[in-house]
Amino acid sequence: MDFQKLSAREIAAGVKAGKFTAVEAARDAIERIKKYDKKYNSIVTLCEERAMAEAEAIDAAVARGEETGPLAGVPYAVKDNFCTQAIETTCGSKMLKGWLPPYDATAVKNMKEAGAVLVGKANMDEFAMGSTTESSVFGPTLNPRDTGRVPGGSSGGSAAAVAAGFVPIALGSDTGGSVRQPAAFCGVQGMKPSYGQISRYGIVAYASSLDQVGGLTKNIADMALVMEALAKPDDNDTTCDAYERPSFTAAVSGASLAGKKIAVLTGYDRDSIDKPLVEAADRAVEICRAAGAEIIEASLPVTMEHTVACYYMVALGDASSKLACYDGMRYGHHEDGKNLSEMYKRSRMEGFGEEVRRRILVGTCILTRGYYENYFVPATKVRQLISNEFKELFKKADALICPIVPALAYKRGLVEEDPVRMYLGDVFTTMANLAGLPSVSINLGFTPEGLPTCVQMLAPRFGDAELLSCAAVIENAAGAPEPVTEKEGC
Amino acid sequence: MSRNVVIGLEIHLQLKTKTKLFCGCSTDYIGATPNTNVCPICLAVPGSLPVINDHAVDLAVKMGLGLHCDIKDKTRFHRKHYFYADLPKAYQITQYEHAIAQGGYLDIVADGKEKRVHLDHLHLEEDAGKLVHPTSDGRLSGAAYSLVDYNRGGMPLSEIVSMPDMNSPAEAIAYITQIRQLARYLEVSDGEMESGSLRVDVNVSLSNADGSLGTRVELKNINSLKSIERALEYEIARQNRVLDEGGQLVQETRLWDDAAGVTRSMRSKEGARDYRYYAEMDLAPIDAKPDYVEKIRAAMPEMPWDKRARFTEQYGISFEESQQLTEQRETADYFEALVASGAPAVKAANWMRMEVQRILRDAGMEITDFPVAAKELGSLIAKVESRDLSNTQAKDVLGAMYDGGLSLDAALKKCGAAGGRLTAEALCAVISKIFAEQPGAVETIKNGADKKGAKQKFLQGLVMRETRGSADPTEVAKTLAEMLAK
């Protein structure tokens, strides 16, 4: 069986029908990772033992004729900032190297309940801070579409694992585009649901009010399956909303744009964006129009001007607070010191990499008296204005289309020299996090050089099912991206 | 030069919940093995998130209502950052700008005068862990290393911040005592200073001649009411002395050294921390809707001061008696049960304050553990009222009921007082017997030589002893006089 060619839905159907076993699917994924991932470095920890146990349990349930979950026997990977019981969880950092969490993240629990089989932990930018997956303590991940380029970040390992065809599904976390941007760079589908849609319990925090679990899949139908498995209220996360979720899979299967109003973002500098990406956005608009949607133009002046600055104020302030618990005392990297203060300084200096230290320092500064009033407080006000701008927009439109990234996948090492340029690359992704909105990155094919092109769609908060429905229409017209096919070892 | 003393207090009350403020760990940590009442949440393990303990919110609202505060419907938490080993997240989750209870006041009585102390607010926060220094005196200085016990980390606290309305150590003490009493009445906290469930930080300053506030000094680390009084007296004297000598006070935090009886500088205003307060985004805001607050208000017991006023009014007892009887809710309940069982209120109050208190004090016992039921004690007092028993006898009987765990009837039998009140004939017989035994004394009295009445008192005592207290002293005196006059 060529599992690499199968979607999550097809694998689950095959396992349930007895065409192959969950153990075979998991074994295949693990073997291919062992064989081919040297080239990409997308998976940093294989969970072989756990995967086999989970897969055997699924096979036993199928054999007993029991109802198995919608993702029965589907191998998947999670970003290494999801807590996995007794399996090393590092956040790509020396700070947490060797740490074995005492519990599973709620998302991991929910995936297990749906029948999915965890095969590996995916590489990431250290503490989810970065856009290239080059800052990991495990070394960089390479883009399977072009190994001279980065996979994007910070969920670059998750995106690469799906693009390489190791797993049909991977989970990531999205604080300012960390799922959608690598999806765009690697040519897979990526979604960040509404804030409050999925429990954050067990996801090592970057910024509490922005972080959300996201999915990376081969196609939108699989994305609906993943969202349905994950989007549930959770008593362990009070920010996870208790509302009753609609059926995401039903929304996708009946996808139609007839009578829908789709807004197209205007008022940004098209020339500053790589041409294939502008063309991809235009093509997506044409697909929507052809599918019967009414297209309207909309501008988001406050958002487009301030989203990146606002995002970094909010995210870094929060990060400095959430990352303060790494003091070398109870877990994580420890260095001795003459006194408590020196112990802290040395543990944090040695444990955190450069980008993380930079963000903690800036964030600490932002929350310090004086700067707080002059920078942080205005940023929270701007955040409200951005939210309001979207509220107004979604009174007139069901969804918004715009580019997801301003550039095709970066060449490796390029951004290291100029972090500010890396930050500015987040202009189209951060607004969804600031406003708590759902957003998907949809692949629109590849450039002649084989680099993925893509478009972004956003919808009102908790309009996730509707959003997936619209995305399915575009995907139906453009075709879901095929993963890279590995023929020989490396 | 005379200066006015201005005192403001911050009281930390540990709330009586079964689990911690943001996780399911047990709050029963006294004596527990270090670091056993802990979980990923209270240890700040990566990925863990706090979840508010609703019961702690109930208790804070209850205390706020008791203190006449305004309960805010939309409140939220902040993170208060500082790096220290006792704080696993490196921030404390506390309420900052949006405390759950605002304003309010508490009426106190100090030096016989009533006074209203206004409050700034009451807020909820989590406690920090505890550092253990392996030195002989338990102090940090000289310790090669320190150990941390996180069992206390995350315990629910409510902090009550007063306005600087108190003007003497006595008022401060009265305020703390009144807060503690209220907390116990409402079953919000044990309010015990020894175990740390009530902790006090004191702000003290001397106001200038023109009435403007002087430099404020904060005193920390004070563990008993006595120490607070001493610390305040010391600090007021110190500040007066500095000002008298033409010196300047600095705004600072000082620690009270109980052994040396002095305060010592800990940190000055310049060294004050910037806590970088920041909204706690991991917790949804608390929504204390009016009907929720009303439900809590409706379930509140009678306030101690209301009870105190009612007791003086309803039972005709003095303010001091009423204060003693209402100090603990359970004592007041016992007293009311006593009255309900038929004992006259004034007598019941006397019995409570004298006999019952004495037994409890000697046994080091709380009223809740007192084994004699109010109804039984009520019946005993009724026997004294009907003169079936003398006071002395009744005290013996109560002693037997307490010591031997006896019922009233059994105790009466044991004390030989079961027969009830001494009849007039029996009394005459006893007196005749004493006369026969003491012919000399009788002679002296009849001769009119007992000018000071000493011999008559001596005979009366013998009669009382013979009757083992079952005779009424007034009746004995009367009968004795009648028989001597014959």
Q: How many residues are present in chain B?
A: 486
Of the partner residues B49, B81, B274, the one whose CB lies closest to the CB of residue A201: B49
Q: What is the pLDDT of residues B383-432, one digit of tens each?
A: 888 777 778 888 888 888 888 888 888 888 777 665 556 677 778 888 88
Q: How confident is the model at residue A490 (pLDDT cuts 50, 70, 90)?
A: very low
C-beta separation of B47 from A83 below 8 A: yes
| Residue range A128-145: mean pLDDT, rounded | 96
* Pairing label, strands A75-79, A117-122: parallel
* CA-closest candidate to residue A277, choices A471, A475, A454: A454
> B281 to chain A, minimum CA–CA distance in Å?
6
Q: What six digits make up the tokens of A239?
A: 């920010």
Of the partner residues B49, B84, B278, the one whose CB lies closest to the CB of residue A236: B49
Most confident of A168-172, B273-277, B431-435: A168-172
pLDDT at A489: 42
Least confident of A7-11, A261-265, B183-187, B339-343: B339-343
pLDDT at B168: 96
pLDDT-above-70 percentage for chain A = 99
| Residue range A266-277: mean pLDDT, rounded | 93
Q: ipTM of the predicted structure?
A: 0.94
C-beta separation of B312 from B355 below 8 A: no
A216 versus B464: which is more confidently predicted? A216
Helix ranges, B248-318 (H): 290-298, 304-315
Instruction: Round to whole Å and give the CA distance between B376 and B373.
Output: 5
Q: What is the pLDDT of residues B136-194, one digit of tens each?
A: 776 667 778 889 999 999 999 999 999 999 999 999 999 999 999 999 999 999 999 99
| Residue range A336-344: mean pLDDT, rounded | 93
Q: What is the 3-state secondary structure (H, E, C) of B38-50?
A: CCCCCCCCCCCCC
| Residue range A79-86: mean pLDDT, rounded | 98
- CB-based burial label for A204 (10 Å; 0-12, 13-18, 19+): buried
pLDDT at B479: 86
| Region for B435 from its dihedrals, namely left if φ exceeds 0, alpha if ψ lies in -120 to 50, beta otherwise | alpha
Q: Measured between beta carbons, which residues in chain B are less than 8 angstroms from residue A238?
A: 49-52, 282-284
Of the partner residues B51, B278, B282, the one whose CB lies closest to the CB of residue A367: B278
Q: What is the pLDDT of residues A175-210, one digit of tens each?
A: 999 999 999 999 999 999 999 999 999 999 999 999
Q: What is the 3-state secondary structure (H, E, C) of B429-444?
A: HHHHHHHHHCHHHHHH
| Residue range A100-105: mean pLDDT, rounded | 97
Q: How many CB pairs under 8 A join A and B?
A: 94
Q: Measured between beta carbons, which residues in chain A are less than 8 angstroms from residue B147?
A: none
**Single-letter code of the amino acid located at A290:** A
CB contact residues (below 8 A), chain A span 253-282, against chain B = none
Catalytic residues of A: 79, 154, 178
CB contact residues (below 8 A), chain A span 281-340, against chain B = 317-318, 321, 324-325, 327, 329-331, 340
pLDDT at B268: 79
> B74 to chain A, minimum CA–CA distance in Å?
16
| Residue range B116-138: mean pLDDT, rounded | 91
> A116 to chain B, minimum CA–CA distance in Å?
21
Q: Do A238 and B79 touch (CB under 8 A)?
A: no
pLDDT at B288: 93
Q: How confident is the model at residue A399 (pLDDT cuts 50, 70, 90)?
A: very high
Q: What is the DSSP letter of B91?
A: E
Q: Measured between beta carbons, which residues in chain B are less than 8 angstroms from residue A89?
A: 46
Residue A275 CA to chain centroid, in angstroms?
25
Residue B219 has pLDDT above 90, yes or no: yes
Q: How confident is the model at residue A488 (pLDDT cuts 50, 70, 90)?
A: low
| Residue range B79-83: mean pLDDT, rounded | 95
Most confident of A459-473, B372-386, B412-426: A459-473
pLDDT at B400: 85
pLDDT at A334: 96
Query: Which residue on chain A is closest to B43 by alpha carbon?
Result: A330
* CA-closest candidate to residue A12, choices A64, A51, A66, A68: A68
Q: In sequence order, what DSSP letters do the residues of A334-387 get, joined into one string?
A: ----SSHHHHHHHHHHHHS-HHHHHHHHHHHHHHSTTHIIIIIHHHHHHHHHHH
C-beta separation of A107 from A97 below 8 A: no
- What are the Cα distances from residue B245, in Å, to A82, A427, B238, B248? 64, 65, 11, 9
